[in-house]
Amino acid sequence: MERDELEEDRAAFIAGEIGGAVVELIINGVVISRDAIVDSLEAKRRAVGNVIHKGVLRDAAAMVRKGQ
């Protein structure tokens, strides 16, 4: 895999995690806000065991926190 493909895959995983967090908040009836999304991503990061997955969740939370 080329570097560009890896970056695209990572971006897709990050987008998927953010989208998943939003869907989970909607299902649970939580008001969608930046803080709620970050909290959901951070909670999932603490729960997963895979180091790479933790990194993706950390980066996703950082992007939402910064508003990028």
Amino acid making up residue 37: I
Q: What is the mean pLDDT of each run of 10 residues along the chain (68 residues)?
A: 88 97 98 97 97 96 91
Q: What is the pTM of this model?
A: 0.90
Residues sharing a CB contact under 8 Å with residue 9, sequence separation 6 or more, in sequence order:
1
Quote the tokens at residue 61. Answer: 């939370």
The pLDDT of residue 28: 97
User: Can you list the domains of the chain with their CATH numbers?
Assistant: 3-66 (1.20.5.5260)
